[in-house]
Amino acid sequence: MHIVVCIKQVPDSAQIRVHPVTNTIMRQGVPTIINPYDLFALEAALELRDKFGGEVTVLTMGPPSAEDSLRKALTFGADRAVLLTDRFFAGADTLATSYALATAIRKIGETYGVPDIILTGKQTIDGDTAQVGPGIAKRLGLLQLTYVAKISALDLAGGTIEAERRSEGGVQMLRTKLPCLISMLEATNEIRRGAMVDALRAARATIVKWSAQDAGVEDISKCGLRGSPTIVKRVFAPSPRAEKAVLIDFSSQPPAEALIAEVFKRQPKLEAELVALARGF
C-alpha cells in the first residue's frame, strides 16, 4: 500500500505580530511549524501503514526551507519526502496549488507506485480555506471523503474503504473505492513520538526535490500567480472602532461590582433576562 500525505509548512500563528505603526506582518523570526491539522493526517497514514504494510510519502510545496517540515515528518516515521519547489509556484491560490500538487502526486505514482490513499489535514492554519484537498481530488479524478473522524475499515484486495465523516448534524458512515482522498479531522489521533531510529534516518535522508519540470508540469501558466483566478487586491489591518473600550475605574469599589454596574447600565433589560436565564439552571 502506498499513502501520500500532503503537508504544509506554516508560520506559527501564535507568534505572528502586526507592526503597530505600519500595519504590516512582522514575519522576521516567526518560527515555522508543520500545519498542526496535517499531523492528524500523517498519524492516520502511519497507523494504516503499520497495520497493512506499505509506504508513506510526505509531499509539500513551498520554498526550499520547507525541507525542515519534511525532515520533521520523516522523524515521525514517514518513508519518503518530496519537496515541490520552484519560483513558478510562487503566489499560487488554492486552484493553482491543487494543480501543482495533483501533478506531483501523478509523478509520485509513476516513480514510486500509484498511491491508494491521499491524506490531508482538514485545512491549514494560515490560509484556513480547506479547498486544496477537494481540488487535488477533483484534478486527479479521485473520490473524496472530507472531515473524516475515523477510518473504520480498509479492504485493499477489494479496493474499498469505510470511514466516519463529520457532517453538520451528525456522522455519516461512508464506503467508497480506492484510490481516494481523505481529509482528517483534528483531535482524531495523537502524533507519535518518533523512534530514535527514525530520527537518525531522517537526519541523513535525502529529500526528493522537484522543480515544476521535474514534477511533470506541462503548462506552467496553470501554476503560481499566473494560474490563480483569484487575486488579492488589498491587505489591511481592520480599523479600530471609533471609540475604544471604556475602561472601568475600580478605585472606589471592588472591580467585580464596578464591572457589573457598567454592564447593566449599558444593557438595562439584560438583568431581568439574566435572572430568568439563571433560574433555568
Partner 1 sequence: MSEPTKPAAPAGRAATKKELPDHFKGYKHVWVFVEQERGQVHPVSWELMGAGRQLADKLKVDLAAVVIGPDGEATRQAAAEAFCYGADLAYVVADNLLADYRNESYTKALTDVVNTYKPEILLLGATTLGRDLAGSVATTLLTGLTADCTALDVDADGSLAATRPTFGGSLMCTIYTLNYRPQMATVRPRVMQMPERVQRDTGRIVTHPLGLVEDDIVTKVLSFLPDRDSAKSNLAFADVVVAGGLGLGSPENFQLVRHLASVLGAEYGCSRPLVQKGWVTSDRQIGQTGKTIRPKLYIAAGISGAIQHRVGVEGADLIVAINTDKNAPIFDFAHVGIITDAIRLLPALTEAFRARLSPHSRDRIAS
CB of 166 or CB of 201, closer to partner 1: 166
C-alpha cell recorded at residue 82: 518530496
- In the list 158, 206, 218, 279, the residue contacting partner 1 (rule: CB under 8 A) is 279
Q: Hey, which residues between 150 and 169 contact partner 1 (CB under 8 A)?
A: 162, 166-169
C-alpha cell recorded at residue 158: 477489494
DSSP element (H, E) containing 185: none
Question: What's the gap between Cα 211 and its chain centre?
Answer: 23
Q: Which residues contact 74 (CB under 8 A, 6 or more apart)?
A: 58, 81, 198, 201, 202, 205
**Does 44 engage in binding with partner 1 (CB under 8 A)?**
no
Q: Hey, which residues between 73 and 112 contact partner 1 (CB under 8 A)?
A: 91, 93-95, 98
Contact between 48 and 23 under an 8 Å Cβ cutoff? The reply is no
Determine the Cα–Cα distance for residues 243 and 204; give it in Å rounded to an integer.
Answer: 57
- In the list 52, 114, 177, 200, the residue contacting partner 1 (rule: CB under 8 A) is 177
- In the list 21, 157, 197, 247, the residue contacting partner 1 (rule: CB under 8 A) is 247
Contact between 184 and 40 under an 8 Å Cβ cutoff? The reply is yes
The number of residues in the chain equals 281
CB of 13 or CB of 111, closer to partner 1: 13
**Does 253 engage in binding with partner 1 (CB under 8 A)?**
no
- In the list 146, 194, 207, 208, the residue contacting partner 1 (rule: CB under 8 A) is 146
DSSP element (H, E) containing 74: helix 67-76
C-alpha cell recorded at residue 248: 472601568
Instruction: Convert residues 3-22 into a mask of x (bound to partner 1 by CB under 8 A) and - (unbound).
Output: -------xx-xx-xxx----
**Does 141 engage in binding with partner 1 (CB under 8 A)?**
no
Single out the segment in contact with partner 1 by CB under 8 A; choices: 53-61, 73-81, 170-178, 197-205.
170-178
- In the list 53, 158, 252, 266, the residue contacting partner 1 (rule: CB under 8 A) is 266
Least distance (Å) from partner 1 to the CB of residue 11?
Answer: 7
**Does 245 engage in binding with partner 1 (CB under 8 A)?**
yes
**Does 114 engage in binding with partner 1 (CB under 8 A)?**
no
Alpha-carbon distances, residue 144 vs 101, 102, 137 (angstroms):
15, 14, 6
Q: Which residues contact 20 (CB under 8 A, 6 or more apart)?
A: none
C-alpha cell recorded at residue 216: 511533470
CB burial of residue 264 (10 Å; 0-12, 13-18, 19+): middle
- In the list 55, 67, 126, 214, the residue contacting partner 1 (rule: CB under 8 A) is 126
- In the list 106, 125, 156, 192, the residue contacting partner 1 (rule: CB under 8 A) is 125
Q: Hey, which residues between 212 and 241 contact partner 1 (CB under 8 A)?
A: 224-238, 240-241
